[in-house]
Structure 1
């Protein structure tokens, strides 16, 4: 069995605020967007956090039948696209849906500007894209921090070759 590792700043074992239903949330360590007002600046360093075995993380998800889905947050998972893509493929075999947050726009990822970015994108269900904009912050927004961020149906967007937004 291949033993890939991912650098995480933390894990929320049961969350109701990072996508619909009860979710396991993995916070990537490392982000270069440096959004002013970021709620998680401790995740920005690429040297912090802890390397975790992906297969063990996935096995741990299987032990909690209450989990409805998984969310990749950060930092920014697309800075570790190869590792999160591997993890997403493993999670999909369990039948869970995957949400992912990124400061990148989906158009940038679709243009193949990030190594393994397309592979990660193809293995997630929903992408919340765009940098957090402190001037567009609204606490009333569901599952996003600022109004410029979009909640995107990834599979439909790829199939239709057009961005398909989810209205939540």
Structure 2
């Protein structure tokens, strides 16, 4: 099984609760105004990666960086639910949490025809759902962009209090690798 990935961070503290492994998928049909990842919107082949190879990277990050989970973002992860559900299942079986960001609402996902979407939700601890709405940007929400986006808790791994601890929290990470500067947050 393969995924079309834009980018991966082996360890980030800017994309969710605690230290996380982040996977940005390539491709999104939402086209939110002032999206921070417009380069991830085109539905084009970027980096085609075997899911088992990603799991090996996650295992490495768990061992070497003590990550507590993964964050799935994009682009739009729901478009690649089948492969991501395979990875999310492995994570849950190996005591790693799963946070999923989607421009689709929970209701839209539950009634969608996206292959593997319900399976992905089954292995997700927290879903942050809904399109980013520029006019509703709320800097107090930390790593969640706009006030219309809901936090859906599917397990008790995290609570609203965990997310409240990030209110007003802004984090930007700079990574220099092979003379290339990468920024996220």
**Conserved in 1, the CA contact under 8 Å of 2:69 and 2:91?**
no
Query: What is the CA–CA distance in structure 2 between the aligned matches of 1:117 and 1:34, rounded to whole Å?
Result: 20
Q: For structure 1, which segment, 96-105 or 13-22, has the greater mean C-alpha deviation from structure 2 after superposition? A: 13-22
With normalisation by structure 1, the TM-score equals: 0.87
* 1:105-135 Cα shifts (integer Å, max 9, x gaps): 0011122443321111111110000000000
Determine which structure has the larger strand proportion and give its number.
Answer: 2
**Conserved in 2, the CA contact under 8 Å of 1:30 and 1:43?**
yes
Runs of 5+ unmatched residues, structure 2:
164-185
Residues 110-121 of structure 1: pairs in structure 2 closer than 5 A? 110-121=110-121
Q: Shift in Å at residue 89 of structure 1?
A: 1.2
Q: Shift in Å at residue 61 of structure 1?
A: 1.4
With normalisation by structure 2, the TM-score equals: 0.80
Query: What is the CA–CA distance in structure 2 between the aligned matches of 1:31 and 1:113, rounded to whole Å?
Result: 16
Aligned length: 157
Q: Shift in Å at residue 78 of structure 1?
A: 0.2
Answer yes or no: is 1:55 the counterpart of 2:52. yes
Runs of 5+ unmatched residues, structure 1:
157-164
Query: What is the CA–CA distance in structure 1 between the aligned matches of 2:106 and 2:55, rounded to whole Å?
Result: 26
**Conserved in 2, the CA contact under 8 Å of 1:127 and 1:153?**
yes
Equivalent position SS for 2:44: coil
Query: What is the CA–CA distance in structure 2 between the aligned matches of 1:87 and 1:26, rounded to whole Å?
Result: 11
Partner of 1:19: 16
**Conserved in 2, the CA contact under 8 Å of 1:25 and 1:73?**
yes
Query: What is the CA–CA distance in structure 2 between the aligned matches of 1:138 and 1:33, rounded to whole Å?
Result: 20
Partner of 1:160: none
Query: What is the CA–CA distance in structure 2 between the aligned matches of 1:23 and 1:109, rounded to whole Å?
Result: 24
